[in-house]
Chains A and B, each alone.
Chain A
Amino acid sequence: MRESLVLIIKVAFRNLWLYRVKTLVIAGLLCMGSFIGIVGLSLLRDVERSMQDSIISSVAGHLQVYSSKAKDDLALFGGAFMGRAEIGTMPDMVVFRELIKKHPNVADFIPMGSDMAMLGRGNELDDVLTALRTALKKGETDIIEQRKQDLTFLLQQLDRELTEREKLSSDKELMVRYRTDLKTAMEPEYLASLKILDEEKLLFLDTRIAPISGEKQPLYLMYLGTDIDLFEKNFSKFKMVEGEPLAPGQRGILLSYKVRETQLKAVVARLFDRLKKRIDRVETTIKGDADNEATAKDLPKQYQQILASLDRKESEELAAYLKSIGIETAEKELVAGLKEQLQKFLIVDDGNFKDRYAQFYERIAPKMKLYEISPGETIVLRSYTKSGYIKSVPLKVYGVYTFEGLEDSDLAGVMNITDLVTFRELYGEMNEESKKELEAMRAKSSTVVTTAAAAEDALFGESAAPTLENREIEGQAKSNETIQIKPVISDVFPISEIQNGLALNAAIRLKDGSKIDQTRAELNKMFKEAGLEAKLVDWQEATGIVGQFANIVRIVLMFALGVIFVVALVIINNSIIVGTLNRTKEIGTMRAIGAQKSFVLGIFLAETGITSLIGSILGAGLATLFLLALNHKGIPAPNDVMTFLFSGPRLYPTLQWNLVILSPLVISLVATIASIYAARHAAHVKPAEAMQEKE
């Protein structure tokens, strides 16, 4: 038995050498399959692990709970179609929290609610006019003069802008009106005489001049209302970058680092950042990279943004600095000259980018308002309530936060964080005081409340009241009587307000994350027993299509491996059958001198087994070396989605030893078993038939 086994292996090796091209093809295919399988599955597992880490430690927790009456699925990072998902509400979170926290594996319950808000932006002229008005109110002579200079400078730029628009616009009447108004404002005595708070002049500039410059696009900000204290404790990736965190009971907002860098930062700085990031991280050059070339081409167009944010003194300083670094102009006039210099400065290539980037941030950026919103400022968030009305809430920006390692991620970093009380207000949920106020107004109302169809009959039918009332005397109240109003907007709230009341969803952190399925099943059972209308989803489901990414990648990978395997098996079987035909005489001879069918079968199976073992071991070896190299160097995230999936700017793959050992064994076994049919075909060659074959 042992002797025939040794003989089979010897013959198999002899045949593999004899038919070495075929052997090489099959071994190569299986080597590739083994390599792709080990590398692919290792990377997939690493991505899954890092993605899980990103999601659980940033915003989702292990599980999310929301109303079972929800019309849409919860998608924390947005669904397939962005927009407001109807996920229902948890009108009183206390009931949910108390039940959920009874489970021994639940560490915490973090209430949440998220939506989109709008932010109006105005333009540079609005900003300067506001600053001028403030200075006039305070009577600060120096600052008034400075602001008037700023305004004159902006008006000169507007004059140029309008000249361009006049060439293009078909609305000649409007252009004439703009030109006339601008001419009035640019008369030297117009601004010169503005030494005290002349509201009429300022109103003219506000209503007739500032609108000429147009509006910036409104800004849309996603916001997440939560209990900030619980949020900080439970989401380990949360980190403050600038400013201070929201104290418990404090109304306010924390801007997302990503949002601030990509939406609130001056475009010119964003373009510099974009190039820098791609050059450093993805290790590309400007020339030859379509994306970088497009960004570099956009840069010189942004000179206007720099010009608009400078006053005359700063412009002179900048012009002198640009001259000192060799960027000169023949233009005598300051604005025209600086425009030319800036356009030249913003032309970047692989040779000058590093210097220009540093020069921009050292000398130009400090003179600009680099961010539209910064900590310490107050903004007004406007959002549609659940009923569709617009609600606005003023909020102080306390700081800028990020999720550690996910600074560049569009997905995790897109949310700005506010307190749950503000969220409720924007959502249209009234507090007790507002409810009482509304009730009082309701009691005074005489409205005939009916549907549009029935209203005409109710208001104009036979029973309708007379439609005209005579009032021969004029109103009793003096029309010039003023009303003193003190706005009541408190920036603090009692902690109890955030611990009770409405939330849309809540994150559940588990003590032991590996028991997620078991905990979910047990919690579901508890909801059912308590009759609570609650739905539970895990972190993967809660993140919508993002969470499904790993599954999609797994399917694609498995499909690719399957195709490689099927192709390899077809080739193996074909080569055995073709080999049988070629080797009929040899097989017949072996059979004639007493070789059993099992011996012949053994030779063919051994050939396949040895080929696939060598190929797949080679593949596993290469995969090991490749993964070790990647582990050392890391895979750079080419874009922001990948940053999120990698849980940072680079993924450092880990070697899965079980995959390295098991893959060659499984591949060889499957290939050998799959070749049984063809080998049996070879074993059935009859000696007599083989002998009849011609030479």
Chain B
Amino acid sequence: MNFKRVILTFLALLAAGKALALSEDETKKLVAVIDEKQRNTGDYASTVIIEEWEKKKDLKAKDPYDLKKAFEARTYRRDADDQLIILFSKPKAEAGKGYLRKEKTLLLYEPALGKWERQTERASIGGTGSRSNDFDESRLIEEYNAKWIGDEKLGKFDVHRIKLTAKPGTDVVSPILELWIDGATQNILKREEAALSGKLMRRLLYPQWEKMFSKSKGADVYVPKEIYAYDLLEDEKLTKVRLQNVNLDPLEKNMFTKAWIETQSR
């Protein structure tokens, strides 16, 4: 009797598992949906607050992390032209510093010098654990091949776990990604970035998403409100990114230029 019950349970689980399993096409479609949900055909602006938290030496401390650095910046994006601006407003010592990205080239403006310097795409933003691609358009389907790993629970959420491997010849920051996607909303809840060797580099958690209507797209755009990025190589240093005042109205035509950023710190 008990044996029969076990077999039935096993078969039921197997059937359920089969029902949840995603085929290659379904997985691709899911990744495409993630890109599409975040895609905004028009312009994008937001205020971003970046906090750097460092683990305390006393692990038994009530609050295990110390705030070491905090920045406030405005980000502007024009995905159609592959352009991005990150302009710092706080703290005072960093105010006016700005990043301008056009396609693969990232330029940094130092207002104290009035000089521009070319940076590598992998350059961290303001010396924090965040990177310029954290604020950028999602292009997963273009850059990666996707494979379904399994369906599992992440806290109280049912999630699809998907592994992404960079397509040959694609220049991406992380060659291997794993995503935990909320089955109900199809938003990313967790993302792990690994090196080619498989070594985990960063873990990002997206506890809050915001949905808003974009006129230019004629559909909803999903934007993460918060990102928790743990640097798994450096003693679990935490970078918390908060996005506020997201706005999808068209930006000035000539905004994505050196001159525009320079005028902001005059």
Q: Spell out A's residues near B (CB within 8 Å).
A: 120, 122, 126, 130, 133, 173, 197, 199-200, 202-203, 206-208, 210-211, 215, 378, 380, 387-392, 394, 428, 433-434, 437-438, 441-442, 445-452, 455-457, 459-462, 464-465, 467-480, 482-489
Contacts and interface: CB of A to CB of B under 8 A. Distances in A.
B58 interface: no
B16 interface: no
B250 interface: yes
A80 B187 CA distance: 52
B179 to A, nearest CB: 14
A158 B113 CA distance: 28
12 contacts: A120-B117, A122-B117, A207-B102, A387-B54, A459-B155, A467-B206, A469-B208, A474-B212, A474-B248, A477-B245, A483-B74, A485-B89
Given A460-B157, A488-B95, A450 B64 contact: yes
Contacts of A200: 254, 257
Contact of B247 (A450, A462, A475): A475
B187 A467 contact: yes
Given A210-B118, A467-B157, 17 more contacts: A122-B118, A199-B260, A203-B102, A392-B110, A445-B49, A450-B65, A465-B207, A469-B208, A474-B215, A474-B248, A475-B45, A479-B249, A480-B249, A483-B74, A485-B111, A486-B95, A488-B95
Contacts of A459: 155, 205, 207, 228
Closest 9 CB pairs of A and B: A460-B155, A475-B247, A390-B127, A199-B257, A207-B105, A394-B112, A441-B70, A479-B247, A479-B45
Contacts of B209: 467-469
Given A389-B69, A460-B157, A451 B55 contact: yes
A206 B251 contact: no
- Of listed B117, B210, B250, B263, residue having the most chain A CB within 10 A: B117
A455 B211 contact: no
A471 B209 CA distance: 10
B10 interface: no
Contacts of A464: 155-156, 207
A464 B189 CA distance: 12
Interface stretch (B17-25, B27-35, B140-148, B233-241): B233-241
Which of B228, B234, B250, B264 has most chain A Cβ within 10 Å? B228
Contacts of B99: none
A437 B90 contact: yes
B161 to A, nearest CB: 13
A445 B240 CA distance: 10
Given A459-B155, A488-B95, A445 B51 contact: yes
Contact of B107 (A206, A215, A388, A478): A206
Given A122-B117, A203-B257, A451-B55, A479 B248 contact: yes
Contacts of A450: 64-65
B240 A447 contact: yes
> Secondary structure at chain B's binding surface: helix, strand, loop or mixed?
strand
B230 A455 contact: yes
B244 to A, nearest CB: 9
B65 A449 contact: yes
A478 B92 CA distance: 24
A456 B112 contact: no
B96 interface: yes
Given A378-B112, A434-B93, A484 B264 contact: yes
A359 B206 CA distance: 65
A210 to B, nearest CB: 7
A546 B117 CA distance: 38
B63 A470 contact: no
A480 B74 CA distance: 11
A446 B68 CA distance: 15
Interface string B198-241: 00000101111111110100000000010010101010111010
B258 A206 contact: yes
A203 B128 CA distance: 26
A438 B91 contact: yes
B236 A452 contact: yes
B264 to A, nearest CB: 5
Given A387-B54, A455-B205, A468 B247 contact: no
Given A122-B117, A133-B258, A468-B209, A477 B247 contact: yes
A172 to B, nearest CB: 11
A372 to B, nearest CB: 14
Given A452-B203, A455-B228, A485-B265, A479 B43 contact: yes
A126 B118 contact: yes
A480 B255 CA distance: 9
Nearest to A478: B249
Nearest to A475: B247
